[in-house]
Structures are given as structure tokens and as C-alpha cells.
Structure 1
Amino acid sequence: MYFAGIIADAKCMTEADFERWIDGAYFYMLSDYVVAVTLAETDIAQEVADKWIASGEELRISAGWSCYCWLLGSRPDVQFEESKIARMLDMVKETIHESPERTKSSMNNFVYTTAVSYVAFHDKAVLTAQAIGPVEMKRDNKKPAILLAADNIQKAVDKNQLGFKRKYVRC
């Protein structure tokens, strides 16, 4: 599946192709870093990611939020509806602590990416990060991870990274 992500021609893929692919993604490294990355290179990315976020299935939800991270970090801000991004930040603030474990990480990354790459919403994302505070993500056979979006945003600010956009989503 990883190699399929490297050679996939995202522009030729349909929603059905991505649905089959996410069905086969059996852990987050595939859902968030192969399927979501490839989806982010398509014109149907937001539509499909929205469906995944609403799906109720942990890896789909995580992939949906991850796709938005890749989109926000690579596309011009004008390609996003401000009201939609605002609603998504509100959703994170209201639900992150009760969300499935893997989804917590993707939602936390969404807040960070919005603050760094979607300049118009930097302040709202910072306020969201402060409101959610530390997020505990339980992991199998490991100590829980403590996710701190506000601290990571401040590190990016200190490094003058606001407005950062990737030239390419995939390597």
C-alpha cells in the first residue's frame, strides 16, 4: 500500500478508488500518510475528507482530518471557505477530548496546521489550541502521548514559519 501511494496518479483516481483504498488501510500510517496525502492532491479532497470526518470510523476520521492538514499546508488560502474552517476549529474544541485516540492526533495537527499555514485564522487557531489545552492520547503498550498544539504553534511562530506552504504534498 505504501508503494502504491508513491506511484499513484492522484488526478486519475475517483472517490470510489479512495473509498476502496481507505477500506484497506489497516493502521494510521497508511490512512493518514498514504491515503490522505494522495487524496490531498485531488480536486475531490475536501468533499471526500468531509465524508470521512463524519463517518464515525476512527481511521477514516483521522484520515479526513489529516487530509485537511495536507491541504491547508499546500494550497492557497483562497481555496478554503472561512466559515467551514471556523466550524472545523469549533468542532475540534468541542470534541477532541472524547474522540477516538488516533483522531485526537489528527485533530490536534489540524489546529496546528491552521495556525501556521492558514494565516487568516492564526489567532482563532491559537485560541482553540489554548482552549483545548493538553490532549492525552493513549497508545498501545506505551505511555500516553500529551499533545500540546499551543506549544507547537508558538515554536513555529518563533521560527518565523507563519504562512508556510509546501510546494508538493508527496515527496
Structure 2
Amino acid sequence: MTVESVLEQLAALGSEQTKKTLLRHGGPENMYGVKVQDLKKVLKQTKQNHALALEVYATGNSDAMYLAGLMADPKQMSPTDLQVWAEQANWSMLSEYTVPWVAAESGHGLEMGVSWIDSDQALIASAGWSTLGSYVALQPDDQLNLALLEQLLERVKTSIHASPNRVRYTMNNFVIAVGCYVVPLHEKAQEVAQAIGEVHVSMGDTACKVPEAVGYIQKVAGMGKIGQKRKTVRC
């Protein structure tokens, strides 16, 4: 398939209703409004095609960019490639999901995540915290830098409420991820979750809510799933 044929299929699969929904969530005008399950119909045809994924992402069309994240081979992404993707991600669906998922599975997740959280651009900082949350969900505990993660938990505790809107959302999710996936830091994450309390994030004209970290971690613990790693974070 070519970039042109991918865009043609996406245009045919898009709907105004889905586009309106995504716009309410902060999406850009440059999209067709394709549901994720329909994006995966195109993915069945392209399969993993890294070269095509890079071209598709570069179109700037939001539906295409999300599809590119599913189509790419993360192991072929260089830090430079990931930086370009992070800088081109222009709303939360891309900056908090597509880019972090690929970064976390690339082998450069820790490096990129730690770099991005220091950005003065909220979308890139959000990508950083989301990348770190996905990274700990994938990486075995004995391969994690636990001291660094503990420092990052402390950073969240002291700075979350003064951080930009969507950065607060992803910092909160990072605490949840550490609490659920990293056994040695489970109790520390619970302490931080208790300390930060309710996190206020404007979710626009939507019914979306910010997960309450203490309750979320406790729910996972109640199911006996603390420390159960994931094979992939892309979906």
C-alpha cells in the first residue's frame, strides 16, 4: 500500500459524528474521524510496515498518525525518530498514547521519557510521563532503575498540582502505573497517591474523569494483579 491509498481508505472510513467526538476531546481539524476498530481494518492490510508508517505519520492527519503508531516497528525507531514524532504530536491522543507506546517498546523508553518530562511544551512533557508509565508496565522489575523511579515519584508528589493541565493527568497515571506494575515501589506509589489526593484536570466538553490513584491501585491489588507486566502497550 501507499500513503495515498491509506489516506483514501481512512477518508472512506471516517464519519462526522466520530470527528465531532474527537474534536470535543481536543483533536485537530485535520482528521477524518475514524474509530480505532476501523483503523485496525486498515492495519490488517498494511500489517507491520515501518517505512510506510513513517510516511503515514508525516502526513499530519490525526487518524493516519494513530494508525502509524500501530503499524510501526518500535525497535527500528531511533531517538531522533521518536523526537520528531513527539514534536509532531499535536494533541493528547497522539502525545499520551501513540508516541509513548512506540517509545516504550523501542528500547529508548527510559531515555526519551526522562528527557521529555523536562520539556516546557506540555504535550511533550505529557508524552514523557506517559512513556515512563508504559515503560514500567513492560520492563521486568529487575531491569528497572528503582532509585530513579522513586525520585520521579517524589517529583510528582511535590510538583503535580502546579503542572500544566494534561501533564497533571499523565503524572497521575505514572503514579498508578508504578503502583500497579512495580512490586518494589508499590507501597511508595501508594504513599504518593495518598499525598497528592484528588487531581483536577480540565477534560473539556467530555464526560472523562481523572482516575483516583489510591482507589485504582487498591483495586488492582484486590484482584491480585500487582506486578503483572504487559507484553505490549499498543492497542
State the TM-score, normalizing by the size of structure 1. 0.94
CA contact 1:116–1:153 (8 Å) conserved in 2? yes
Residues 77-96 of structure 1 mapped to structure 2, 5 A cutoff:
77-96=141-160
Give, in whole Å, the separation in 2 of the partners of 1:163 and 1:15. Answer: 28
Question: Is this contact kept in 2: 1:137–1:144, CA < 8 A?
Answer: no
**1:103 match:** 167
Partners of 1:136 and 1:145 within 8 A in 2: no
Q: Could you say if the C-alpha distance between residues 144 and 159 of structure 1 is closer, same or farther in structure 2, counting changes exceeding 3 Å?
A: closer
Taking structure 2 as the reference length, what is the TM-score of the superposition? 0.69
Could you tell me which runs of 5 or more consecutive residues in structure 1 were left unpaired when the two chains were aligned: none
CA contact (8 A) 2:114 2:132 kept: no
Tell me, in whole angstroms, the C-alpha distance in 2 between the residues paired with 1:5 and 1:54: 23
Whole-Å separation in 1 of the counterparts to 2:210 and 2:173: 13
Q: Which has the greater radius of gyration?
A: 2
Number of aligned residues? 171
Of the three residues 117, 130, 137, the one matched with 2:201 is 137
**Native 8 Å contact 1:138 1:144 kept in 2:** no
> What is the CA RMSD across the aligned residues, in angstroms?
1.5
1:17-36 paired onto structure 2 within 5 Å: 17-36=81-100
Partner of 1:164: 228
Q: Is 1:3–2:72 an aligned residue pair?
A: no
Identity %: 38
CA deviations 1:6-44 (Å, max 9, x no partner) are 111111111111111111111111111111100111222
Q: Which has the higher contact order (CA 8 A, sep 6+)?
A: 1
How far is 1:141 from its partner?
A: 3.1
2:199 and 2:126 mapped to 1: Cα distance?
15
